[in-house]
Amino acid sequence: MSAVEIVRFAVRGLAANKMRSALTTLGILIGVAAVILLVAVGEGSSRSIQQNIQQLGANTLTVSSSTGGGGGGGGFRMARQQQDTGPRTQARPLTVDDARALADRAAAPHVSSVSPVVSANAQAASYDGASHPIQQVIGTYPSYFEASNKPVAQGTYFFNDDVLAARKVIVIGQTVAENLFGALDPVGRQITLTGVPFTVVGVLKEAGSTGGFQDADDVAIAPLTSVQQSLTGFGPLNQILVKAGSAGDVAAAQAEITSVLDQRHGVGGTVAADYQILNQATLQETVSAATSTFTVLLAAVAAISLLVGGIGITNIMLVTVTERTREIGIRKAIGAPRGAILGQFLVEATLLSLIGGLLGVAIAVAGAQFTIAGITPVVVPSSVVLALGVSVAIGLFFGSYPANRAARLRPIEALRFE
């Protein structure tokens, strides 16, 4: 009795009850597909978040005011701090002077560029009758384009001269270009931003979907001075974008920024810093840890459905063994050894789970081609191997009890069974 023979008997046994086999297979199919797909969704969301972070710019550090100390709510804390440390008036906002100090090669040798940033949200822009609220208008220096990883697709950047002269030039994102100009070439045309005319000098390269948080293409970038003049006023900076020389310099640059700003803002001793530095690398690590927890959670939920599918196999195999008791008796009477009966039912159970597993993989891979809840799933090969392996193991494990029962049947009793 060869293994091929046993597999043939098993296939025939399954084919005899196609509906039941199909439904049992469905249980495993759903389990396997769920495991693979949910892990893929978890992986996809983790990648898209990491991509977003990288899009903010590689090797960059973002300096922004700490909100806690700056507002009116900080009054009480200020008073107490005064007692402790002597003269200290207020948390200082970030200024263009702070940015200039950071650009000092001597004090901060690892910093390669510094871009002060002001931003205004939801500014109405219009061109020739078409209007569009731009989600974010950024006023900055030309170095911002490189530091924040925003290359220009059409036209050009603005230059330092434009900043000095506060020229009303602007670089717009793809979404803005489409909404205001449609098919027209925007470069050289004039748009009106809350009543102030700006000349479009360039269009940013499309940043692509950013996972639904916000449209990274719905931006416009203009010289710092122009934006301050016409939109935000000459108040504090929203942030300072600092680019380190290389990935290895990021930590050193962060230390330098801290020392420069601590000095300028009088931070030290018991005085808490009135600014914060966001490091892309640390942010990335934190987010990865959070998303991997999320992925594990999803996989655990899916694994439960795989287990339920396995129990379904045991159930169906038990029914099958009972139903085919007489057939087992006949087979034994004509000389089937115990191993052949055991093998047949074990292979039947394993085939059910294997077919279910393979179909599950196929469906999961097909399903991963679509965007699910705004996330493009990324199929993790190890999850496919694991889900398939587990489904086969489930077939063997959950099939072994019914198969053993079949093999142990005594032929006279089995033959007498009606």
Interface with other proteins (CB under 8 A): 1-2, 5, 12, 16, 326-327, 329-340, 410-412, 415
Q: Where are the alpha helices (DSSP H) in 71-117?
A: 75-85, 96-102
Instruction: Dihedral sign for Cα 348, 349, 355, 358, please.
Output: negative
3-state SS, residue 365:
helix
| Minimum CB distance to other proteins smaller for 294 or for 417 | 417
Q: Which whole-number Å values give the CA distances from 233 to 11, 174, 198, 229, in the listed order?
A: 78, 26, 17, 6
| Minimum CB distance to other proteins smaller for 125 or for 328 | 328
The secondary structure of residue 380, as a DSSP letter, is -
CB of 22 to other proteins, least distance (A): 17
Contact 141, 116 (CB under 8 A): yes
Backbone phi and psi for residue 302, each to the nearest 5 degrees, phi listed first: -65, -35
CB of 319 to other proteins, least distance (A): 16
| Minimum CB distance to other proteins smaller for 283 or for 415 | 415
Return d(Cα 240, Cα 100) in angstroms, integer: 10
Contacts of 75 by beta carbon, 8 Å cutoff, 6+ apart: none
Contacts of 303 by beta carbon, 8 Å cutoff, 6+ apart: 31, 35, 390
CB of 405 to other proteins, least distance (A): 15
CB of 330 to other proteins, least distance (A): 5
In the numeric block, the tokens 């960059």 are attached to: 60
Type of residue numbered 361: V
Contacts of 185 by beta carbon, 8 Å cutoff, 6+ apart: 154
Return d(Cα 240, Cα 221) in angstroms, integer: 15
The secondary structure of residue 71, as a DSSP letter, is S
Type of residue numbered 168: K
Contact 227, 137 (CB under 8 A): yes
User: Beta partners for 268?
Assistant: 271
Contact 134, 194 (CB under 8 A): no
Instruction: Dihedral sign for Cα 225, 122, 156, 189, please.
Output: negative
Token pair of 97, please? Answer: 């002077």
Backbone phi and psi for residue 249, each to the nearest 5 degrees, phi listed first: -90, -5
Return d(Cα 144, Cα 402) in angstroms, integer: 69
CB of 390 to other proteins, least distance (A): 32
CB of 41 to other proteins, least distance (A): 43
CB of 333 to other proteins, least distance (A): 5
CB of 339 to other proteins, least distance (A): 8
Strand residues in 267-315 grouped as ranges (E): 275-279
CB of 332 to other proteins, least distance (A): 7
CB of 412 to other proteins, least distance (A): 5
